[in-house]
Structure 1
Amino acid sequence: MIDDRTPVIIGVGEASERLDDPGYRRMSPVDLAAAAAAEALAGGVHVDVVAAVRQFEISTPWSHAPLGRADNPPRAVAARLGQSPARAILDVTGGQAPQRLVTELAGEIAAGRADTALVCGAEAISTVARFAGADDRPDFTEHVGGQLEDRGYGLDGLMPPRLAAHGLLDPPGQYALFEHARRARLGLSEAAYAAAMGALFAPFTRVAAGHPHAAAPTVRTAAELVTPTPANRLVADPYPRYLVSRDKVNQGAAVLLASVAAARRLGVPPDRWVFLHGHADLREKPVLERPDLSAYPAAVAAVRHALDVAGLALGDVDVLDLYSCFPIAVFAVCDGLGLAADDPRGLTVTGGLPFFGGPGNDYALHAIAETVRRVRRAPGTYGLVGANGGFLSKYSVGVYSAVPAPWRPGDGAAIQAALDRVPPVEVCDDPAGPAVVETYTRKPGQDAVVVGRTADGRRFVASCAAGGDLLGARGTVDGVAFSRDTSRPPAA
């Protein structure tokens, strides 16, 4: 017996277009989200709640929309579908948002506060980049109005001023720090670590090549991915372009949830129902306060808790999609779980953000859609989606299966409290004296930015004009600059 209030996913949809597609239509983000939502609804479903993933164009105070935007994205999508939901939500910034919204709205359905809910999102970044300065540019402006629960940017703690002062507000720059920190922990050379990144992502390209909505469906070898060329230029050491999330895409996705009672009333057959067996939403410390810059304990704890809620072990999962904006986002979760980078199940169902595409904050909604399709096709199987936001900052996890299961609330607050109790690293504003480099990155034509420790163990950020591999480099820090002492060997 399944309780009538049990939430189930009854529909998923995706939409995309490429600039060189025959019949390319210059669709807006609302157009793409509505097309995906129409596929998810596939019938006369009245939706009580529509929640939209925040577009990149409105994800920070300094973002802008060159082609214009809708003032109420969820209601703009709903209007195209002939819907007038009682509640519209625009979530905070971050790639965790799709999974977090699915979990939240499943809980709302279980509590009886809604019967149906739609989560949607889309980006048209490729079209915006192409037409931003064109005379014939489309106008994506829409004035919809109406109720909107706008949750704001949600950027607290995600923009460290010390990193910003050195030009590292961008994801490649900050993720590169985590990547080199992991290389330091493993004791690998630059060449050996590059090979590992290529080996991780080469199978992702094969998955992307078979996905109809992939932005870059091209199979590449591990060596191709990590060898700099004019087409694969260095973005931020150690990342050439092929290892970086591909944001120039036109993609949309949607997930439709309903109570079991509503699903029956709508005539959705039980073999189309997919249950959220487990879930978790956890947050990491601010970047510079983390004891280990190569690790992601909040993500590892989120995966473990979601599996505990589901009553499963990692080995019980048949389908995995680990958020893959950069290699470290996958490596850090695998390291913490003891999961091999070449696990035979594969680590992506879409091809991942550099190859399938990274539609702003909305990638995980595509991963959920594909996971739902896979567990439907193979009754009795389980799929896990991990969604990352910020700078390895927020992690949301969902465990899916067509196997019936009751709604189970989690105990994320207790786990979050335990994560928060770990003592933070003290950050130094005016470092001076002997110091050692923990990690670094270097952008083309610029000095390196190093993160290191002073003699008393405090962490600092500084620039460094020295070339070469700086991991473990010893020297002197003076305010915002680090000078390498070439007469001393690197720290172990």
Structure 2
Amino acid sequence: MGGLDLRTPVVVGVGQASERVDDPGYRRLSAVDLAAEAAREALADAGADGLAAAIDTVAGVRQFEISIPGATAPLGRSNNYPRSVAGRIGAAPRRAVLEVVGGQAPQHLVTELAGTIAAGGSEVALVFGSEAISTARHLAGTADAPDFTEHVEGDLEDRGPGLEGLVSEHLAAHGLTEPVSQYALFDNARRARLGLSRAEYARQMGELFAPFTTVAAANPHAAAPVERDARELSTPTERNRVVADPYPRFLVARDQVNQGAAVLLMSVAAARRLGVPEEKWVFLHGHADLRERDLLDRADLSRSPAAVLAARHALEVAGISLADVATFDLYSCFPIAVFTICDGLGLAPDDPRGLTLTGGLPFFGGAGNNYSMHAIAETVVRMRAEPGAHGFVGANGGSLSKYSVGVYSTTPAEWRPDRSAELQAEVDAWPAPEQARAADGWATIETCTVKHARDGRRTGIVVGRLERDDRRFLAVARDDDEELLDLLSAGEPLGARVRVRASGEVNQVALG
């Protein structure tokens, strides 16, 4: 590796930490504690001493409790999460970053800081994230609940939630207030495109995720390490209740976790100066970051072409084909997040290489915005075990909104810029369907979902097209329209004819 540019970025250390509330020796760790434990693991993994003092940049992935304005932290939180973690490990970085919301954040930060290192703006950077959601839910309101409040001094580059384009008053007025209902629209749109029955599509989803459970069952950091077959995953039961059609609970990302992960990267010059063994080095060969059009501006709700474009471009930057990839970890909050990449790349859902290294978000755990930091950690470990192989990490944020890709290998490679900005301009110029914010007339259902509350209440949500001009609209079913709700939740509504009427800020649909 003697001929490498000294500013070439390399990943040199990865670490993970976790605990479950029913584990023997459960320690009630805060999010800061979990991230710090993972960071210590990453420093130790690098195989050299004195690394913490060399860190000049830390970047933290935003926890769920600080992702939405007005959200509360039931056990308290740090006012400066990145510097709280840095203080725990004895680091005093000159720069601290708190990233925007989204599951793309881990890979995006690794790519961004690798580029910063390549440009000479940093030498040693530590990226981390964590969630203690399970502990917060378990202990909130108890007599001996811990207080995780911390006040830490120091500059912080807080990039804000970054929710622009992900939420809107129009979506909220029609019940699209959480990811599960939005992703359900996408999976049902894909079912319509493929012409599959409910039962056939349920089987596809179960068959997709059953191998994920096998990986999770063998992962010591998994929040739900239980192997399940396709039928168990896709069959609604009292325990596996339907959350939003077509999803029973087992097919939905599990956010009740206590998990942290960290990645240490530095320049080749720093790695040599600090004595990091070369067998620890893993290079970021390919990378890309793209953002999809806003939800109702997408030409086809069954696909995410921006995510596929990002995946293809990262492979192009790496100079390899899909056949050259040895391992994959595809973001798997819901089945459509995996299906859309498989469909777009021509990757079989049952590819023998597997589609996850962690076990996936419903089974390993959807560690807030930080899941893919665990995927990167697992990929780095596998790449060291298979020198010269390539590992692919696909990280998704929002509602199939932001996609970040990394391609990793131990094969030495200097930093290669990507063309994400140029490609993003192309995505932004894609045509969008014309919308009818206030819709009236006969229409057909393009896609839909029904949210099922624990008390049995059903909320029907429809995306449709007006017959007279094909404008797209968003609408809801009336709570007392049992006939329509039955069709949406148990019949065959996709392509059905309905009548839509505007009522104030909300469009309502009925069968006639």
The reply to whether TM is greater than 0.5 is yes
CA deviations over 1:81-132 (Å, ceiling 9, x no partner): 1111000000000000000000000011111111100000000000001111
Q: 2:384 aligns with which of 376, 400, 408?
A: 376
Q: 1:270 aligns with which of 256, 273, 278?
A: 278
1:199 equivalenced with 2:226 (yes/no): no
Deviation, 1:417, is 1.0
Q: Aligned AA for 2:10?
A: V
Q: 2:134 aligns with which of 126, 131, 155?
A: 126
Structure 2 match to 1:228: 236
- The 1:257/1:448 distance shift into structure 2, 3 A limit, reads same
Structure 2 match to 1:14: 16
- Separation of aligned partners in 2, 1:316 and 1:378: 13
- The 1:470/1:62 distance shift into structure 2, 3 A limit, reads farther
Structure 2 match to 1:460: 473
1:483 equivalenced with 2:510 (yes/no): yes
1:258 equivalenced with 2:271 (yes/no): no
- Separation of aligned partners in 1, 2:459 and 2:365: 30
CA deviations over 1:172-227 (Å, ceiling 9, x no partner): 11100001000000000000000000000000000001111011110000000011
Structure 2 match to 1:420: 428
**Mapped contact 1:96–1:364 kept (Cα < 8 A):** yes
Q: 1:429 aligns with which of 431, 437, 451?
A: 437
Structure 2 match to 1:38: 40
Deviation, 1:135, is 1.6
RMSD (CA atoms): 0.8
**Mapped contact 1:160–1:287 kept (Cα < 8 A):** no
- Separation of aligned partners in 2, 1:167 and 1:185: 24
Q: Which moved more, 1:143-152 or 1:42-51?
A: 42-51
**Mapped contact 1:451–1:462 kept (Cα < 8 A):** yes
- Separation of aligned partners in 2, 1:174 and 1:83: 41
Does the residue aligned with 1:361 lie in a helix, a strand or coil? helix
Deviation, 1:425, is 1.3
Deviation, 1:3, is 1.1
- Separation of aligned partners in 2, 1:114 and 1:450: 49
Structure 1 match to 2:31: 29
- Separation of aligned partners in 2, 1:227 and 1:98: 33
Deviation, 1:429, is 1.4
- Separation of aligned partners in 1, 2:498 and 2:125: 57
CA deviations over 1:268-311 (Å, ceiling 9, x no partner): 11111000000000000000110000000111000011011111
Deviation, 1:160, is 3.3
Q: 1:139 aligns with which of 123, 140, 147?
A: 147
Deviation, 1:134, is 1.2
Deviation, 1:230, is 1.4
Q: 2:95 aligns with which of 87, 95, 100?
A: 87
Structure 2 match to 1:490: none
CA deviations over 1:109-166 (Å, ceiling 9, x no partner): 1111111000000000000011111121110100002100000011111013322112
1:449 equivalenced with 2:461 (yes/no): yes
- Separation of aligned partners in 1, 2:465 and 2:327: 40
Q: 2:123 aligns with which of 100, 107, 115?
A: 115
- The 1:191/1:106 distance shift into structure 2, 3 A limit, reads same
Give 5+ residue unaligned stretches, structure 2.
Answer: none
- Separation of aligned partners in 1, 2:73 and 2:110: 27
1:313 equivalenced with 2:325 (yes/no): no
Does the residue aligned with 1:367 lie in a helix, a strand or coil? helix
CA deviations over 1:59-92 (Å, ceiling 9, x no partner): 0113211110000000000000111100000000
Does the residue aligned with 1:288 lie in a helix, a strand or coil? helix
Q: Aligned AA for 1:321?
A: D
- Separation of aligned partners in 1, 2:437 and 2:426: 28
After TM superposition, the structure 1 = structure 2 runs for residues 167-178 of structure 1, keeping only pairs within 5 Å, are 167-178=175-186
CA deviations over 1:222-261 (Å, ceiling 9, x no partner): 0000111111111111101000000000000000001011
- Separation of aligned partners in 2, 1:281 and 1:430: 34
After TM superposition, the structure 1 = structure 2 runs for residues 49-68 of structure 1, keeping only pairs within 5 Å, are 49-68=57-76
Deviation, 1:44, is 1.3
Q: Deviating runs (4+, > 2 A) in structure 1?
A: 160-163
Q: Aligned AA for 1:25?
A: R
TM-score w.r.t. the length of structure 2 is 0.94
- Separation of aligned partners in 2, 1:119 and 1:351: 22
Q: Aligned AA for 1:66?
A: P
Percent pairwise identity:
65
Deviation, 1:351, is 0.4
Deviation, 1:447, is 3.5
Does the residue aligned with 1:363 lie in a helix, a strand or coil? helix
- Separation of aligned partners in 2, 1:49 and 1:330: 33
CA deviations over 1:294-332 (Å, ceiling 9, x no partner): 000111000011011111111100000000000000001
Q: Aligned AA for 1:120?
A: F
Does the residue aligned with 2:368 lie in a helix, a strand or coil? coil
Q: Aligned AA for 1:15?
A: A
Q: Aligned AA for 1:44?
A: G
- Separation of aligned partners in 2, 1:78 and 1:163: 39
Structure 2 match to 1:297: 305
Does the residue aligned with 1:133 lie in a helix, a strand or coil? coil
Structure 2 match to 1:473: 496
- Separation of aligned partners in 1, 2:335 and 2:327: 19
Does the residue aligned with 2:446 lie in a helix, a strand or coil? strand
- Separation of aligned partners in 1, 2:79 and 2:169: 30
Q: Aligned AA for 2:510?
A: S
- Separation of aligned partners in 2, 1:91 and 1:475: 43
1:160 equivalenced with 2:168 (yes/no): yes
- Separation of aligned partners in 2, 1:33 and 1:69: 13
Deviation, 1:266, is 1.4
Deviation, 1:419, is 1.1
**Matched length:** 485
